[in-house]
Chain A
Amino acid sequence: MSDPKFSPSAAEVPEYRAAQRWNIVWVVPILALLVGAWMIYQKFTANGPVANVRFATAEGIAAKQTEVRCRSVRVGVVRDVKLDEDLKSVVTNLELNPDYESLLREGTRFWVVRARLSGTEVSGLGTLIAGTYIELDPGPKDGKRVDHFDGLETPPATNRDIPGRRLVLTTDQAGSLAAGSPVYYRGFEVGRVENRKLNPEGTLVTYDAFIREEYSGLVKKNTRFWNTSGIDITAGASGFKVRTPSIQAMISGGVTFGVPEGIEAGEVVADGASFRLFGNEDEAEDSTFNPTMKLVLLFDQSVRGLSKAAPVEYRGIPIGRVADISFDYQNAQNDSRIPVLIEIDPAILRRESAMGISQTDLDCLTEAVKRGLRSALKTGSLLTGALYVDLDFYKDVQPAELFKTGDYESIPTVSSGFAQLEAKLTAILDKIGALPLDDTLKKFGTVADEVAHTAADSRRTLVEIEETAASARKLIDSPEFAALPSSIKSALASVEKSVSSVGPDGAIQGDLLRTLDELRAALRAVTAMTTAIDEKPNSLLFGRDTSGNPIPKAPKLGR
């Protein structure tokens, strides 16, 4: 290349040129290329598994910023947020770290963690500062790989992998029971209600309840669950009942469970067992009652105050309850009697023969009716006016037999108790009403008038007598009369004395005036009586003030 003419050491000049052959330095760009390519490959192709999760709203979720966490460990990030095609939900595209691909399996749940404040929980306050994130709760270990999920709107109360018993409670009224409500056992919190659902038909509310592992052995086969939400005030045939749970349960609702007395607890249940959730403790207790016999009672009186589930008692022992009150059970169209369907547990009457077949029970009943067993409506509580059905033996009733009404047997009824009393009272009052009081009073009036006439007449008579006496005196004082013998004079004087006794100061007039006073007093008493009857018709029988009425208390069921 260089001109040889001007290069004295021609051999030396090409020396440095000839040295420019392949050099070890080319390893550097090759390495750089490899490293660069690897970095870009990492960034764009080694992305983790992707999942689509649907939420109702994307509030607080930002693409490329909102994290996906599992137990507060960052396992991924939201890649994209899009509206769903139907514009009713949003679909978030999550990208997980490759290490956590296995978390995307069937049963995995997602929910957005935001700050939540409610009666039962204060959670996610950290998100106020650090922003919302999506929490991932991995599903069961052997779940299939899935990449489309429906996110939960509210966080589940407990993670799925926390050990414990998961139960299903069904009821027909949700009340204030909600996700997060505590589950109590003997007033001790042992679990939580996780969520609630209304079944598609809208007839049942289903709760998922969670009992912590250490208490899961408490849930037995015959365990009853009941709602302890709010304040429970019941007014029934057994009086008023007010129950208040803890303040927390009052606000957020709560579930209590226990095994009613008198029945076997049974075995410990498995996960997913389903229980009925009773409205209150009484319902739960009554649920042990097993009515096997249904009877229709025909009452010839008002059943106002008799409610469904009102007790049926035999001489104060609860043996059943009212199942229904409906004209449907009636035989004839024009029967004015009210049919009441009751269900009784004959086993309570005869514990030792609880296994006996119902035919035997029926025979017993037939026999009892022959001996005078009757049913009657009685007032359980004067305060609430609630009625109950009482079965008792009556001595002075007309003989009757068990008869059939529709599909059911019927025990003859008697009117008794308050209804009977009322009927008698009404009869008495009717009689009082029918009394000819007005006529009597009128007669009293005429009698008084007549007495007044008589008095006037006698006064006139007295005046005449006085005149006569005066003329007699004149006659006596006359000189002609003076000649009359003194014996006549004395006779006349005695006559004068007798006449003066009839005068204004005389005893006869005094008697008359007293009689008039008595009449007046009698009239006043009659007026007072009519007023009292008018104000309170039954005061004839009870007097004006009724004394306190003792309220009989019904004993508890199922003992």
Chain B
Amino acid sequence: MTQGHPRAAVSGLASCHTCGKVSPVSLGNCPRCGSHLHLRKSNSIQRTVALMVAAVALYIPANVLPIMSSLELGIYTENTIVSGLLTFWKKGDYPIALVIFTASILIPLLKIVALSWLCLAANGKLHPSPSRLAKIYWFTELLGRWSMVDIFVVGILVALVQLGNYMTITPGAGALAFGGVVVLTMFAAMSFDPRLLWDQLEALEPHHSPLKTKDS
């Protein structure tokens, strides 16, 4: 109460999720808009973990099933993410291969790993330095915007390339799964309440500024 800056949660104050008004959590509902008041997002970690498990579950079919099938001059080809990547790599189109690798494989994976790590940290299982926590959180936020590249490409191709027997592209089941992965990781990232991370830090080191100390 006396050291550092008083924290809203400790003071029993909660920010309304809807209108942002800070009011005592004991009121139950926001005096301005009437929404239910929570100190933190309810079940944040559990939700995040659940959504991530779902994302991982879908990540397997997303990579195994063809993301796109093309009928080119009567030749029917199915491409999974990895096979498309390898095709470009073998052709020597390294930049495109790298882009696909980054957008379709690396980013979703990193996002899942990072979120899991954050969840563990928020749950008190890991004790990383606050600066690293901050970086990783920022990184997760950053990644989320780019993970839809593949779906975006498939969507454009399917819409544009419909030339009957000469060339037709249809989305595969993998695209659906992959879209699911991306959407689920986005929801997971949204449902994660980063304040839980700082709560953990506060809990560990109540007397000091979170950025400074480390002892035990």
Complex interface bits, A130-163 against B, C-beta within 8 A gives 1, otherwise 0:
1101000000000000000000000000000000
Closest to A15 in B: B39
- Do residues A130 and B165 form an inter-chain contact, with CB atoms below 8 A? yes
Chain A to chain B: the 8 pairs with minimum beta-carbon distance, closest first: A130-B74, A32-B54, A29-B54, A29-B53, A33-B57, A32-B57, A39-B61, A9-B12
**A40 within 8 A of partner (CB):** yes
Which residues, 1 to 34 on A, are CB-close (under 8 Å) to B?
Answer: 1-3, 6-9, 12-13, 15-16, 19-20, 23, 25-26, 28-33
CA distance A293 to B25 in the complex (A): 126
Q: Which residues of A contact B26 (CB under 8 A)?
A: 9, 12
Extra A-B contacts (20), CB below 8 Å, given A25-B50, A28-B50: A3-B203, A6-B1, A8-B1, A9-B26, A13-B39, A23-B47, A25-B46, A26-B50, A28-B54, A32-B55, A32-B57, A33-B57, A39-B61, A39-B177, A64-B78, A65-B75, A130-B75, A131-B73, A131-B74, A133-B74
CA distance A318 to B209 in the complex (A): 131
7 A-B pairs (CB sep. < 8 Å): A13-B10, A25-B46, A33-B54, A35-B57, A36-B177, A130-B75, A131-B75
Q: Which residues of A contact B40 (CB under 8 A)?
A: 16
CA distance A20 to B55 in the complex (A): 21
- Do residues A23 and B46 form an inter-chain contact, with CB atoms below 8 A? yes
- Do residues B10 and A29 form an inter-chain contact, with CB atoms below 8 A? no
Q: Given the known A-B contacts A8-B10, A25-B51, A32-B53, are A3 and B38 also in contact in the complex, defined by CB atoms under 8 Å?
A: no
**B58 within 8 A of partner (CB):** yes
- Do residues B38 and A6 form an inter-chain contact, with CB atoms below 8 A? no
Closest to B48 in A: A25
CA distance A23 to B42 in the complex (A): 10
CA distance A77 to B66 in the complex (A): 16
CA distance A13 to B11 in the complex (A): 10
Which residues, 43 to 93 on B, are CB-close (under 8 Å) to A?
Answer: 43, 45-47, 50-55, 57-58, 60-61, 64-65, 73-78
Q: Which residues of B contact A33 (CB under 8 A)?
A: 53-54, 57
CA distance A454 to B51 in the complex (A): 157
Closest to B45 in A: A20
- Do residues B47 and A67 form an inter-chain contact, with CB atoms below 8 A? no
**B9 within 8 A of partner (CB):** yes
- Total number of A residues with any Cβ neighbor in B under 8 Å: 40
- Do residues A20 and B54 form an inter-chain contact, with CB atoms below 8 A? no
**B31 within 8 A of partner (CB):** no
Interface centre among B45, B53, B54, B73 (most CB of A within 10 A): B54
Q: Which residues of B contact A88 (CB under 8 A)?
A: none
**A43 within 8 A of partner (CB):** yes
* Contact among B64, B78, B184 for A28, CB-based, below 8 A: B184
Which residues, 127 to 154 on B, are CB-close (under 8 Å) to A?
Answer: none
Q: Which residues of B contact A131 (CB under 8 A)?
A: 73-75
**A491 within 8 A of partner (CB):** no
**Closest approach, in angstroms, between the C-beta of A448 and any C-beta of chain B?**
105
- Do residues A39 and B173 form an inter-chain contact, with CB atoms below 8 A? yes
**B180 within 8 A of partner (CB):** yes
CA distance A40 to B64 in the complex (A): 8
Q: Which residues of B contact A7 (CB under 8 A)?
A: 10
Closest to B47 in A: A25
CA distance A31 to B76 in the complex (A): 31
CA distance A39 to B47 in the complex (A): 24
Q: Which residues of B contact A129 (CB under 8 A)?
A: 73-74, 165-166
Closest to A19 in B: B42
Q: Given the known A-B contacts A29-B51, A33-B54, A36-B60, are A13 and B9 also in contact in the complex, defined by CB atoms under 8 Å?
A: yes
CA distance A90 to B184 in the complex (A): 47
- Do residues A67 and B76 form an inter-chain contact, with CB atoms below 8 A? yes
**B155 within 8 A of partner (CB):** no
- Do residues A16 and B10 form an inter-chain contact, with CB atoms below 8 A? no
**Closest approach, in angstroms, between the C-beta of A380 and any C-beta of chain B?**
63
* Contact among A16, A29, A43 for B173, CB-based, below 8 A: A43
**Closest approach, in angstroms, between the C-beta of A388 and any C-beta of chain B?**
64
Closest to A31 in B: B54
Closest to B59 in A: A36
Q: Which residues of B contact A127 (CB under 8 A)?
A: 74
CA distance A422 to B198 in the complex (A): 135
**B206 within 8 A of partner (CB):** yes
CA distance A28 to B48 in the complex (A): 11
**A42 within 8 A of partner (CB):** yes
Complex interface bits, A55-78 against B, C-beta within 8 A gives 1, otherwise 0:
000000010110100000000010
Which residues, 1 to 27 on B, are CB-close (under 8 Å) to A?
Answer: 1, 9-12, 25-26
Q: Which residues of A contact B202 (CB under 8 A)?
A: 2
